[in-house]
Amino acid sequence: MSTKIEEHSVRVAAICDRMAALEGPLLPILHEVQEEFGHIPEGALQTISKKLNLSRAEVHGVASFYHDFREEKAGKHVIKICRAEACQAMGADDLGDHAKSRLKVDWSQTTSDQKVTLEPVFCLGLCACAPAAMVDGKVVGRVSKDRMNRILDEVGA
């Protein structure tokens, strides 16, 4: 076992200990692990399963069920564009196509320089100021193509 994985497992174990008293601790633990490492690192599932007395398969099943949990680290910047109906009504499909072509990626992919990950999201609750996006956790409404260009310029894409 490499030292990196050992170090990871110590940190993951600490997170598990901190959250063990919660009723139904697995989702909060996975969120914390992802917050700390940027993804669910190799070996984390093993540590969590031991700590919670679950099989590794069960933990894997949970982590892989939810769209939020990543196996790989995301790019430096994460741009989420809403693809749901209210945003579609205001041109979200074109906006998504525009971002994909400028970044030369498809949905859920990261640019080759690891700078930007483009993700679809189904509703940010900004349906009265559509189309909407979330850039590194910050919400943006009424995103025109020009606005998207400025966002992409700002993140250096």
Distance, CA of 76 to CA of 156 (rounded, Å): 10
What is the per-residue binding string for another protein in 56-85, x denoting contact by CB under 8 A? -----xx--xxxxx------------x-xx
What is the per-residue binding string for another protein in 10-39, x denoting contact by CB under 8 A? -------------xxxxxx-xx--------
Q: Is 146 in the site for another protein (CB under 8 A)?
A: no
- CA 141, 110, 2, 53: dihedral to nearest 10 degrees? 50
First and final C-alpha spacing in the chain: 37
Q: Is 149 in the site for another protein (CB under 8 A)?
A: no
10 to each of 28, 43, 124, how far by Cα in Å? 17, 11, 35
Which residues have a Cβ under 8 Å from the Cβ of 114 and sit 6 or more positions away?
75, 76
Q: How many of the chain's residues bind another protein (CB under 8 A)? A: 48
Candidates 134, 147, 149, 155; binder of another protein (CB under 8 A) is 134
In sequence order, the β-bridge partners of residue 109 are 118
What is the per-residue binding string for another protein in 81-120, x denoting contact by CB under 8 A? -x-xxxxxxx--x--xx--x-----xx-------------
Cis peptide before 131 (omega within 30 of 0): yes
Candidates 44, 132, 148, 157; binder of another protein (CB under 8 A) is 132
Residues that bind another protein (CB under 8 A): 23-28, 30-31, 52, 61-62, 65-69, 82, 84-90, 93, 96-97, 100, 106-107, 121-130, 132, 134, 137-142
